[in-house]
Amino acid sequence: MSLPADDDWEAEVDRLVSLGATRTDTAEGDGGQVLMFDPDGNEFSVRRPR
């Protein structure tokens, strides 16, 4: 998932957590994205806007 440049990245991650996603402790790259799991255990990532 990649967000538009004007979106609040942390707010989107928080929104996904409120919907049941789990944020992992493992980050990829230079901190430009966060790995998460959906409620079914599927892994996905949210990337910071560039």
The pLDDT tens digits of the residues spanning 1-50 come to 666 667 788 888 899 999 999 998 765 555 678 899 999 999 998 887 76
The H or E element that residue 37 is part of is strand 33-37
What's residue 30's pLDDT? 55
Q: Are the beta carbons of 47 and 2 closer than 8 angstroms?
A: yes
In b/e form, how buried is each residue of 5-38, taking b as 16+ CB within 10 angstroms? eeeeeeebbeebeeeebeeeeeeeeeeebbebee
pTM: 0.73
Q: Side-chain half-sphere of 11: how many Cα atoms within 13 Å?
A: 6
